[in-house]
């Protein structure tokens, strides 16, 4: 299957004459943290929606582990092991932290649609739930309702829920958006931790986070790739600086912190 878990070629999305993503070639190396960045309106989220099949491409091809998934549906892609989080934290607010993770684990029992069964049949999953919560630093909050968690902890819970399906590729859409410095630090360290045995592709606006943890960075502007490489190279690329700062003489470091 090669060294790349996810590849695209000529990936393009047009909306009634407007090209949001144009001829994007993306290669995500197995075991890496790969960041997709760009100024507002660059096409990052549209690209994410194409990769996870929430949008159909106008043209182009998407390969996951060497298999063409261009025409597949979101559920099919998720079953292959490509799982996504969203910009807005998506937890079940009135369920406990443990119950949220248990929902993610329930398909492993094959009882997801057996609504007449007692909820006690899910108790066998509690041990694994606690392992996942321990992994993301939420074990002590297991019996709180999700709505009672601070915002940063809710994002950690969302990551725990996605980890419940044991993804091969975890896609994180703006994981630190709207967070204070302390929560940003927590989520940054968590991403590094969960990436230890899987691949992560993330859209992120905080250049401090990207600079610390990303192995490879792809920069979009007006839906096109304008640069790719490690942060040390991308942060000094004149075209990238122009896109972010309006001048190639400015420094990119620190944007979004």
Domains by residue range for the chain, with CATH = 1-81+167-257 (3.40.50.300), 89-165 (no CATH)
Give the pLDDT score at 61.
97
Which tokens sit at 143? 């019996």
Query: How many CB atoms within 10 Å of residue 127?
Result: 8
C-beta separation of 245 from 221 below 8 A: no
Instruction: Give the pTM.
Output: 0.86
- Encode the chain (257 residues) as per-residue pLDDT tens digits: 579 999 999 999 999 889 999 999 999 999 999 999 998 889 999 999 999 999 999 999 999 999 999 999 998 998 899 998 764 456 889 999 999 998 878 765 555 444 434 355 567 788 889 999 999 999 999 999 999 999 899 999 999 988 888 899 999 988 888 888 889 999 999 999 989 889 999 998 888 899 999 999 999 999 999 999 999 999 889 999 888 766 555 555 555 44
Give the pLDDT score at 71.
94
Q: Are strands 169-173 and 82-84 parallel, antiparallel or unpaired?
A: parallel
Give the pLDDT score at 169.
95
The SS3 of residue 193 is helix
C-beta separation of 57 from 46 below 8 A: no
Give the pLDDT score at 115.
41
CA-based angle 81:89:79, to the nearest 5? 15
């Amino acid at each position: 299957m090669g060294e790349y878990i996810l590849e695209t070629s000529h990936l393009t999305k047009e909306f009634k004459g407007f090209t949001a993503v144009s001829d994007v070639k993306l290669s995500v190396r197995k075991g890496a943290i790969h960041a997709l960045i760009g100024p507002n309106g660059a096409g990052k989220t549209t690209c994410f929606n194409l990769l996870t099949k929430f949008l159909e491409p106008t043209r182009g091809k998407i390969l996951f582990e060497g298999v063409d998934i261009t025409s597949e549906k979101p559920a099919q892609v998720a079953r292959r092991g490509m799982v996504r989080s969203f910009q807005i934290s998506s937890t079940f607010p009135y369920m406990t932290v443990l119950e949220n993770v248990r929902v993610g684990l329930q398909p492993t029992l094959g009882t997801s649609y057996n609504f007449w069964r007692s909820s006690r049949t899910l108790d066998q999953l509690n041990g694994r739930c606690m392992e996942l919560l321990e992994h993301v630093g939420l074990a002590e909050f297991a019996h709180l309702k999700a709505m009672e968690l601070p915002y940063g902890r809710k994002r950690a819970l969302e990551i725990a829920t996605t980890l419940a399906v044991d993804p091969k590729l975890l896609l994180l859409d703006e994981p630190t958006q709207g967070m204070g410095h302390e929560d940003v630090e927590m989520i940054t360290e968590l991403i590094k931790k969960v990436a230890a045995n899987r691949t992560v592709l993330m859209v992120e606006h905080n250049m401090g986070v990207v600079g610390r943890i990303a192995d490879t960075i792809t920069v979009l502007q007006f839906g096109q790739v304008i640069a790719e490489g490690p942060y040390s190279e991308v942060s000094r690329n004149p075209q990238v600086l122009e896109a972010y700062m309006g001048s190639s003489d400015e420094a990119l470091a620190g944007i979004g912190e």
